[in-house]
Amino acid sequence: MGAFLLRRIFQGMLVVLGVTLVVFVATRMVGDPAKVMLPLSATDAQRAAFNHQMGLDRPLGAQFITFVGDLSTLDFGDSLWQRRPAIQIVFERLPNTLALIGLGLGLAVTLSLPLGALAALRPGGVADRVVVFGGLFGLSLPQFWLGLLMIMFFAVTLKILPTSGVGGPSHYILPAVTLAIPSLARLMMLVRSSVIDELNQQYVRTARAKGMRFHTILFGHALRNALVPFLTLAGWEFISALAGYTVVVETVFAWPGLGLTAMKAIERSDLFLLQAIVFTVAIMIVIVNILLDVLYKLIDPRIKLA
Amino acid sequence: MTLIRNLLSGVVFAAMAALPAVAASASEVTIAIGSEPSTLDPQQRDDGGERAINDNIYETLMARTPAGELVPGLAAAAPTQIDATTWEFKLRPGVTFTNGEPFNADAVVASVTRIIDPALKSEQMSYFGTIKSAEKVDDVTVRIITTGADPILPSRMYWMKMVPAAYSKDPNFATAPVGTGPYELDSWSRGESVVLKANPKYWGGAPAIDQVNYRFISEPGTRMSGLMAGELDVITNLLPEFVASVPKSEAVQGLETSVIILSTENPTVKDLKVREALNLAVDRKALAESLFSGYATPTKGQLVNPRAFGYNKALEPYPYDPEKARALIKEAGAEGKTITLVGEAGRWLKDRELIEAVGAYWDAVGVKTDIQINEFGEYLNQLFDKAKRPDAIFVVNSNELLDADRETSFAYQAGGTATSNTDKELAEWVIAARTETDVAKRQALYDEVTKKAHDNYYLVPLLNQQDIYGFSKRLDWKPRVDSKLLVKEMKVTEE
């Protein structure tokens, strides 16, 4: 286990470095900050002066050496947009996004297991039909529209929840639910199909034949075996949310999270902030992947960690 | 409905306790702006979110009336010209910053010196590129020296915020602003809100509203929901189609004008007849009515903002005459020829819709419009590319200083940022107007510039857009031509 962890951490560091290098090159190839940030009326000379002041007219190699040198102290330079350390902005916004993902995904995970299992007990039954219909419905709703619809209903018509922004606990409800719905739908459908598969396995019939109680079979075996693909999907949901899928929800609910910040950094060609965001997200994805591997092993001891 | 409401209320009972303070107090307003200020340093960035807030904290030597007329602000009177490159400002005496520092000639010199210092890396330099230095004459008299003759200097000083001489060097200056204005910062919770409170010692008298809360909401639908739910009092950039749904709204002629710039060098569009046809083909009135629900005004044959100095009152709008346009295209032998129209999407209100509508109008008179909607960075590369001009490129120009130099140096003068003509004579006129200090002669030069460009169809000016604001029922305010959100002009009525 120890050797495995060390190996994975080393591999993870390579991944993070690779991603950062790609971002470094890509951001410098695509956008010209002076063009995007200065007023349209600025002259070419003023644009050139701006790039010079920001050190963006130096040769790419020299810029890269500075970049890697500063990386060791987590210094990503000052954001062009906010004129303060980029990493400071990331640390300010990351908790907001993590809280949203934690709540939304927590909701999706806790509801999807019982609902999916319930549907699987009698495929084609009433509960199953409701779950399948609800799942397809949840999957086909555009999040953007769903968010606005919930605002209109709960905040404007009923006036029981705030429309947007951060503040008290009530501000979390609508964005977290909006974020949860597609994930809940996907996870619920997966639990349903895996449990149906498991319940049709030979070992289930054997267990029932020898008189084992059904809920022991369901919870002790079928659901446990169904947990491995479930964990993979839940991990994917977490990673994709972190990698930017929260941006729609953050936009609709004016939520000051990392996704919205990343989008604004792209809009403004803020390379320094973008690098800091991608670096942080890459590290978190690597950590989540390592944790998932460890969890697999705990659930299913047959899995070999390589 | 009552039952549902009660049930739901029960479910979220705990949450209710934490509901945000709904804008209720008569002396408090909540304003939604599109983006959070990146900094509260008033001299560093070119940022609408920063301006919306700092316009209430800081002041400038010159100000504008709601209708756009330039009047003295922190200056006691309009500046006088000592010689071609020197302007003298008399300052309003007895004004202090909210930290107690005096506003005097030293503060003006410090403000000017700070913003033109390359070490500040100010994005506002495109407004102040002509300023060389500032000199104190006595405590209430200051001279500003420009690199060449600069008739626009008084307008420029309407854009430069005055900062305190000593405190502006403090490292906290960007997060804890101190100005001379009617409001001072109360708190800034990043990502959440900025709160201002009235400056009781304001030289112009304490403002009617005691507290201003700013919230940052980029999505127009969410902004409108906040207004409808009673959380907000003022929202900016209300979409024309939402006007009917909000409690109250006001519109005012804005700073932005949309235009398509035609190349005089490229095949097909280099033919004057084709350029005329492309102008006659567009029904601007229909565009204003259908796309902007009437909240836009067709341009009158020029890009210059109608409120700006240098606007040509004598020019006739290009008529909508598709018959003549079709005949001209036929005459020029341009039938079925392709014209590339470059644009972007999402940066300006209804940009894509406008571009596509114009493309359809052009197609209807016989040419083939190839619309290229590009990512903004790539679009800017094409807009700024001096060597290879697109046949036609869409842009929205904003004239913050309300002076025709902006439009003429941007899209009229050969070699300008977005110009696609090579007319040397026109360029000379634009340059001459920039340094002409005689007001009447300067206006005459701009009249010539806009007339010649009009007659040569260098541009397809489209619409001057209006700014639409949504208000809560209790808010009373007339929006300003310069788009500034000045809270000291707002009032709330008791409910």
Average pLDDT by consecutive 10-residue portion of chain B (495 residues)?
43 40 66 94 94 97 95 96 95 96 97 95 92 96 96 96 97 96 96 95 95 95 94 94 93 95 94 97 96 95 95 95 97 95 92 96 96 92 92 95 94 93 96 94 97 97 96 95 95 81
Q: Indicate which of B19, B147, B173 best probes the interface with A, i.e. most A CBs within 10 Å of its own CB.
A: B19
User: Predicted ipTM?
Assistant: 0.88
Exposed/middle/buried for A35, CB within 10 Å: 0-12, 13-18, 19+?
Answer: buried
pLDDT digits (tens, 9 = 90+) for A164-221: 999 889 999 999 999 999 999 999 999 999 999 999 889 888 988 898 888 888 888 8
Pairing of strands B459-471, B248-262: antiparallel
The CATH class for the domain spanning A95-256 reads: mainly alpha
- The whole-number pLDDT of residue B484 equals 95
Q: In sequence order, what are the beta bridge partners of B262?
A: B392
Q: What are phi and psi of B253, to 5 degrees?
A: -55, 130
Q: pLDDT at residue A305 above 80? A: no
- The whole-number pLDDT of residue B26 equals 54
- Across the interface, whether the CB atoms of A93 and B191 are under 8 A apart is answered yes
Average pLDDT, integer, range A139-159: 94
Q: pLDDT at residue A41 above 90? A: no
The pLDDT confidence band at residue A44, using thresholds 50, 70 and 90, is: confident
Q: What amino acid is encoded at A173 in this protein?
A: I
- Report yes or no: B265 at the A interface, CB cutoff 8 Å: no
Give the least confident one: A29-33, A235-239, B29-33, B67-71.
Answer: A29-33
- Across the interface, whether the CB atoms of B219 and A49 are under 8 A apart is answered no
The pLDDT confidence band at residue A306, using thresholds 50, 70 and 90, is: low
- Report yes or no: B225 at the A interface, CB cutoff 8 Å: yes
- Across the interface, whether the CB atoms of B125 and A158 are under 8 A apart is answered no
pTM of this structure: 0.89
- The whole-number pLDDT of residue B8 equals 44
- The whole-number pLDDT of residue B122 equals 92
What is residue B315's DSSP assignment?
P
- The whole-number pLDDT of residue A35 equals 87
Taking alpha carbons only, the member of B173, B143, B168, B147 closest to residue B157 is: B143
Residues 6 or more apart whose Cβ sits within 8 Å of residue A3: none
- Across the interface, whether the CB atoms of A155 and B225 are under 8 A apart is answered yes
- Across the interface, whether the CB atoms of B8 and A155 are under 8 A apart is answered no
d(CA A48, CA A53): 9
* Residue numbers of B between 352 and 391 with CB closer than 8 Å to A: 376-377, 380-381, 383-384
Question: What phi-psi label fits residue B46: left (phi over 0), alpha (psi between -120 and 50 degrees) or beta?
Answer: beta
Taking alpha carbons only, the member of B348, B463, B378, B457 closest to residue B412 is: B457
- Across the interface, whether the CB atoms of A256 and B16 are under 8 A apart is answered no
Q: Which residue of B has its CA nearest to A41?
A: B410
Q: Which residue of A has its CA nearest to B401?
A: A41
Domain chopping of chain A, boundaries? 2-71, 95-256
Q: How many angstroms from the chain centroid is the CA of residue A50?
A: 35
**Crossing angle between the packed helical segments A126-140 and A86-121, to the nearest 10 degrees:** 150
- Report yes or no: B432 at the A interface, CB cutoff 8 Å: no
Percentage of chain A beyond pLDDT 70 is: 99
Residues 6 or more apart whose Cβ sits within 8 Å of residue A73: none
The pLDDT confidence band at residue A300, using thresholds 50, 70 and 90, is: confident
- Across the interface, whether the CB atoms of B225 and A32 are under 8 A apart is answered no
The pLDDT confidence band at residue A32, using thresholds 50, 70 and 90, is: confident
- Across the interface, whether the CB atoms of A49 and B118 are under 8 A apart is answered yes
* Residue numbers of A between 136 and 195 with CB closer than 8 Å to B: 148, 151-152, 154-156, 158-171, 173
CA neighbours closer than 13 Å in the CB half-sphere of residue B348: 25
Q: How many angstroms from the chain centroid is the CA of residue B462?
A: 17
- Across the interface, whether the CB atoms of A32 and B381 are under 8 A apart is answered yes
* Residues of chain B contacting residue A154, judged by C-beta atoms under 8 Å apart: 8
State chain A's mean pLDDT as an integer: 90
Q: Which residue of A has its CA nearest to B15?
A: A170
